[in-house]
Amino acid sequence: MDTANRSALNAEQIKSYEDNGYLLTGKTLFSPNKFQTLYDIFEDLLATQGNSQGDELDVPHFSDERLFEFLLADEVLDIVQCLIGPNIGLWSSHFVCKEPQTGARTPWHDDRAYWEGRFDRFDGIVTLWLAIDESNRENGCMGVIPGTHLDDSKQHVPMDTEHKIFNIEIKDEDIDLEKVVWFELGQNYYSLHDSRIIHGANANTSDARRTGFTMRYFNTDLKLAQAHPHNVNHKTYHCRGDNKGNNPLVHL
Residue 167 banded pLDDT, cuts 50, 70, 90: low
Is there a contact between 29 and 129 (Cβ–Cβ < 8 Å)? no
Does 66 fall in a domain?
yes
Total structural domains within the chain: 1
Say what the pTM is: 0.91
* pLDDT at residue 6 tops 60: no
Does 5 fall in a domain?
no
Residue 225 banded pLDDT, cuts 50, 70, 90: very high
* Domain membership of residue 124 as a residue range: 11-250
Residue 175 banded pLDDT, cuts 50, 70, 90: confident
Residue 141's SS3 state is coil
pLDDT greater at residue 251 or residue 173? 251
| CA dist., res. 219 & res. 174, Å (int) | 31
Phi-psi region of 189 (alpha: psi -120 to 50; beta: other; left: phi over 0): beta
The arithmetic mean of pLDDT across residues 9-31, rounded, is 97
Q: What is the CA radius of gyration of the chain?
A: 17
The arithmetic mean of pLDDT across residues 207-231, rounded, is 95
Q: Model confidence over 83-118: pLDDT tens digits? A: 999 999 999 999 999 889 876 788 888 888 788 889
Does 73 fall in a domain?
yes
Does 129 fall in a domain?
yes
* pLDDT at residue 160 tops 50: yes
Residue 174 banded pLDDT, cuts 50, 70, 90: confident
Does 4 fall in a domain?
no
**What CATH number has the domain bearing residue 50?**
2.60.120.620
Does 183 fall in a domain?
yes
* pLDDT at residue 34 tops 60: yes
Is there a contact between 104 and 96 (Cβ–Cβ < 8 Å)? no
Does 3 fall in a domain?
no
Does 62 fall in a domain?
yes
